[in-house]
Structure 1
Amino acid sequence: MDHTPTVILGLCSYTHDSSTALLVDGELVGFVEEERLSEDKHTKAFPQHAVDWLLKEAGLTPGDVDAVAYNFHPAHYLVESSASLRLALSATTRERTLPRAHGFAKVGLRTQRRVGALGRLFPSARVVPVLHHRAHQLAAFSWSGWTESAVLVVDSLGERQTTTIAHGHNALRPRTRTLESLNDPASLGYVYGAVTEHLGWRRGDEEGTVMALAALGDPKRFRHLFARALRTTQSGFYVDPSYFPPRTLSSGYPRTSRRFLAETCPPRQSAEPVVEVHRDLAAALQERTEQVMLHLARRARLITGSRRLCAGGGVATNCVSIGRIIEAGIFDDVFVPPAPGDAGTAVGAAVAVHIDSGSQRPLSGIARSCYLGPSFENLPLDLTRWPGLRQKMLGIESAEFLADQLAHGMIVGLFQGRVEAGPRALGNRSILASPLEPGVVERLNATVKYREPFRPFAPMVLAERAGQFFTLGQEAPYMSMASGVTDTARERVPAIVHANGTSRLQTVTAAQNPFMHAVLTAFARRTGVPVLINTSLNVKGKPICGTPAMALDCLTGSGLDALLLEGRWITK
């Protein structure tokens, strides 16, 4: 009897960071963020390019999809809409009561309409809404490959939840059981986004810039303010509405109060210079975020009894907080998936539907994977659109050749194999440079990436030699953890050490990325240092280059010296 595959399409769509994952008979065919193919960073459009690629990859049509897993559940917004009426009981929050109730109801109905629209796009499929935090939990836990762990999800908002602690078990058919959850307005992601905006950067995009800026400030000036505004409780934390008024899900309602402005500084416009007060505000915000994340991690350890932690949600991209949790020794092992933010919920939602369908097929292809998007290995390359470029084919020794160019001070874009999942380039869509080159950080920021001069650059290191340079004490394959550095790192590669004495490192094994492992080995043979600077192949404001055309535009539009694109050495 013919076996018809169970085809589940996981979707993150219509909010931000649209993405798609495809499970066929429990096996992950692939996952990709729409921005990598559409060039629209953080796009909220339906991920058409991503869906088309995945279905083509699997030899399927939209009519073959059995189920569409959507990463939000409309009914839970409506629950919060009526619960918002409790805000009327306090003079501080009263004026937000009706706008908030209206906002949550509106978003709930809009989400319901989106679920209906997806049904029309995939006529043979049932569309299954999945609770947002459950999608985060299952993504983080499935990606870990572990049989059991605590799962901590911290983000801005999923329907009404902002923070959940769950217990995950069973690697082949993963389950997560939520033990505790916090609802909005207790939201760490909301507070971090509000201050990011106040400091003149884009909320939902540039929180990492604020985290980098924090290292240059003194948290003392605003420490007491954040201790009042973000108070820890036995099972979580509380946000003081007199500093951060409750969200309404509609524009026109500021996220910071007049009291916050009076006690900090006026909002910074993006073109204004960054001064001491901005650095200090960022430092206090970051310090308090780390304290709250540590508190939540300890809570997760206590109530799950687990010695391992998976962290997910947008706040899990705060690599310094994750580094602090590891440093504190609360868990034996900490794991952050390659796509901890909303994009990754496409994977988690698909896993949820697979589990709930009662399928006995074990999951495969997710655990410890990150190179999951399109590849362009055998594509003919026509450079007529870029008339100034020259190319030559490299042979089998391309890793040696690249290491040699890097050792001689070149800054090189690398485009090879399948697109990485998540916000960090992991050696397939990277810009590489030698950390030994004088002035390399200044040059990268000013002429290649076009971004703020205080932004640090992350190192990639041979996993087997990481201990010589970094104190993390565990592998960090997805560049999601900040580590302390050794004296050797300070002496040999100061360019990769940020002002707070940490580096957001990526450890590389031969099994994970054979080519990058070979490049690092060859570079170490020439220089004695198994470390390279690795930043994403893009310029500020653009997504990581997912297609050859995007990579060639990046080469011509930036200060890159060369691009190694699928075995071709391309120069200007």
Structure 2
Amino acid sequence: MTYVLGISAFYHDSAAALLKNGEIVSAVQEERFSRIKNDSGFPVNAIEWILSNSKISMADINHVIFYEKPFNKFERLLETCIRFAPKGYELFSQALPMWLKEKLFQKLELRRRLSALPGGSEWNHSILFSEHHLSHAAAAFYSSPFESAAIITIDGVGEWATTTISIAHGGRIERLKELRFPHSFGLLYSTITAFLGFKVNSGEYKVMGLAPYGRPIYAEKIKNNLIEIKPDGSFRLRMKYFGFASRLKMYTPALAKLFGIEARHPEGPLESVHMDIAASLQSVTDELFLGLSRYARELTGQENLCLAGGVALNCVSTGRILRSKIFDKLWIQPAAGDAGSALGAAQAGYYLYCKKPRVPCQDYMPYLGPCIDHDIALRQLEQLSAKYSIIPDETIFESIADALAKGKIVAWVQGRAEFSPRALGNRSILADPRVKDLKKSLNLKIKFRESFRPFAPVILAEEANNWFDMVESSPHMNFTVQANDGVDQITPSVIHVDGSARLQTVSIANNERLYRLIHEFQNLTACPMLVNTSFNVRGEPMVLSTEDAFNCFMNTGIDMLVIGNIVLDKYQQDGSKYKKYNFALD
């Protein structure tokens, strides 16, 4: 028996994942337990749950794999500060004390933390370090259904690499090309994100959602000034516009001069110029992704492509790649960002360090987190003085579908939590997509977020082609597709301003309970889809526990909460024992 524990931590989106003889057993982000959005701390709660859930302790763990190499990252920091001296002194003076205190001796810190866990005194102390982009690549390929593939990873920066192209066959991964810091498309995207007044490592998806409202009139200005994109998809940033390599700010004053406006203040008004900049950035992102994909196909000769890294969560660009047919098949790790690197680190350790034969992964399921136990949920709801009923499977799907058809907003908590930044039907808020003004009310009264933000549809897989211009299934909500003619008139709350939708397809095989609910909704309405958005509010992680779910339910305009077969109606609650939210900005 071989147990491998993967860890990502100390930057953002900390997580842990467990393999048992190569099989993925569990994976979860620390933020779900700590309730701190994008928690960067050591994932102690995630690891404790993983060990408990598998009924093992640290004594059973053969290897712990950390997702990157801290010394290599420190080397990059020092070289960057020297290269950009004297401007780099500001960054150096701020970062060096933190590195000396917390990060340079991470192996000792990891050993100390892990030894304090159950069974830690008997643990063998085997800690290995993967490389950041290798962890991304491993999470993408080993979780895919492919025997061989090209792999593109693209994010902000790991140790040195910012973009890589690799080839994988069987159990091996070979890196063929890489781009190095400071030339990073992820950091370009984050720089524009910051300039538009959104939070780095959190608000990039807002820029993607804002883009369809604008015109790409600054695309050529971005390509002529900020970034030089070469025919093979490689690129170079022109550093006079960027501050991340030498100071504690993403952009320099030159960026404001280039666009002819000052940077937007967070929570300030969104004007057409901001939308145009977002649209232009998205246009350049599409071009870059397509160029990289063409070059990766030529370089590797592979028919299949795997994508990972935070930029791979840009479902507009990945949709463009899918429709381009540059590759025959495309697979994207649902947890493509740094959280998913905990899984990738474990897989890299198992296959590349332990040299184990590859365990086939024909049908990757992202439901790898905790499940809420029925009896425990009932006890906790009693403690919260909640009023509830229990509805058996024979009638619950029809009952909830009827409530949705009557305009109720339903929080749907079923089975194991998703290992993904996107709710995929187990920690979701669901609603009727036919309601005309639902998008506004969901954003402002339930999610408490910006009004421009779109909502995604989840549709029965066999119906998808009747409603959308589909290329293939999309169970992990990784692509945007165009709605067929007239669909925006029937289901206006899930079609974006440009006629697109970030679609999730659901089948009995990948989520039986959600499938049955939508099927009953279709029987009542002739509409085979629902609105699906994550069960959380702005600035909060997705709910994990019964208490999380009840608090979110009571703080928002959600009408019904369903936890397994337990159903709560908002208007039956006395509202005395829930935690009042102080909403955080994200």
Q: Is the 8 A contact 1:73 1:111 kept in 2?
A: no
| Partner SS state of residue 359, structure 2 | coil
| Partner SS state of residue 9, structure 1 | strand
- Say whether residues 1:139 and 2:139 are aligned partners: yes
Aligned to 1:114: 106
Aligned to 1:423: 421
Aligned to 2:149: 149
Aligned to 1:166: 166
Aligned to 2:183: 186
Aligned residues: 556
Distance 1:391 1:497, change over 3 A: same
- Say whether residues 1:240 and 2:235 are aligned partners: no
| Partner SS state of residue 75, structure 1 | helix
Aligned to 2:542: 544
Aligned to 1:71: 67
Distance 1:446 1:530, change over 3 A: same
Q: Post-superposition shift, 1:246?
A: 5.1
Q: Post-superposition shift, 1:78?
A: 4.5
**Which digits, 9 at most, give the CA deviation of each residue in 1:264-299, with x for residues without a partner?**
221211232111221111111121111111111111
Q: Post-superposition shift, 1:30?
A: 0.5
Distance 1:73 1:107, change over 3 A: farther
Q: Post-superposition shift, 1:148?
A: 1.0
Pairing 1:87-102 to 2, within 5 Å after superposition: 87=83, 95-97=86-88
Q: Is the 8 A contact 2:475 2:505 kept in 1?
A: yes
Distance 1:356 1:327, change over 3 A: closer
Q: Post-superposition shift, 1:308?
A: 1.4
- Matches of 1:165 and 1:535 in 2, distance apart? 33
Q: Post-superposition shift, 1:159?
A: 0.8
Q: Is the 8 A contact 2:519 2:528 kept in 1?
A: yes
Q: Post-superposition shift, 1:200?
A: 1.2
Pairing 1:187-206 to 2, within 5 Å after superposition: 187-206=184-203
Aligned to 1:258: 253
| Partner SS state of residue 193, structure 2 | helix
The residue type paired with residue 131 of structure 1 is: E
Q: Is the 8 A contact 2:152 2:163 kept in 1?
A: yes
- Matches of 2:125 and 2:273 in 1, distance apart? 54
- Say whether residues 1:33 and 2:29 are aligned partners: yes
**Which digits, 9 at most, give the CA deviation of each residue in 1:81-112, with x for residues without a partner?**
5654884xxxxx55445566788877876544
The residue type paired with residue 454 of structure 1 is: F
Q: Is the 8 A contact 1:244 1:257 kept in 2?
A: yes
Report the aligned-residue RMSD: 2.1
**Which digits, 9 at most, give the CA deviation of each residue in 1:383-432, with x for residues without a partner?**
35544x42110112212211111111111000110000110000000000
Gap regions ≥5 residues in structure 2: 116-122, 571-586
Aligned to 1:90: none
Aligned to 1:439: 437
- Matches of 2:31 and 2:478 in 1, distance apart? 20
Pairing 1:384-533 to 2, within 5 Å after superposition: 384=382, 386-387=384-385, 389-396=386-393, 397-533=395-531
The residue type paired with residue 70 of structure 2 is: P
Aligned to 2:268: 272
Distance 1:85 1:20, change over 3 A: closer
Pairing 1:331-410 to 2, within 5 Å after superposition: 331-360=327-356, 362-363=358-359, 367-380=363-376, 381=378, 382-384=380-382, 386-387=384-385, 389-396=386-393, 397-410=395-408
| Partner SS state of residue 164, structure 1 | strand
The residue type paired with residue 111 of structure 2 is: G
Distance 1:366 1:11, change over 3 A: farther
- Matches of 1:445 and 1:517 in 2, distance apart? 25
- Say whether residues 1:285 and 2:281 are aligned partners: yes
Distance 1:107 1:141, change over 3 A: farther
- Say whether residues 1:124 and 2:104 are aligned partners: no
| Partner SS state of residue 285, structure 1 | helix
- Matches of 1:253 and 1:42 in 2, distance apart? 20
Q: Is the deviation greater in 338-347 or in 483-492? A: 483-492
The residue type paired with residue 229 of structure 1 is: L
Pairing 1:34-53 to 2, within 5 Å after superposition: 34-53=30-49
Q: Post-superposition shift, 1:335?
A: 1.2
Q: Post-superposition shift, 1:62?
A: 2.2
- Matches of 2:78 and 2:444 in 1, distance apart? 50
Q: Is the 8 A contact 1:326 1:472 kept in 2?
A: no
Percent identical: 33
- Say whether residues 1:21 and 2:17 are aligned partners: yes
Aligned to 2:577: none
**Which digits, 9 at most, give the CA deviation of each residue in 1:67-88, with x for residues without a partner?**
110011123225435654884x
Distance 1:196 1:81, change over 3 A: closer
Pairing 1:285-304 to 2, within 5 Å after superposition: 285-304=281-300
Gap regions ≥5 residues in structure 1: 88-92
Q: Is the 8 A contact 2:144 2:361 kept in 1?
A: no
Q: Is the 8 A contact 1:71 1:130 kept in 2?
A: yes
TM-score, L = length of structure 1: 0.93
| Partner SS state of residue 189, structure 2 | helix
- Matches of 2:282 and 2:35 in 1, distance apart? 30
Equivalent residue for 1:553, pick from 540, 547, 551: 551
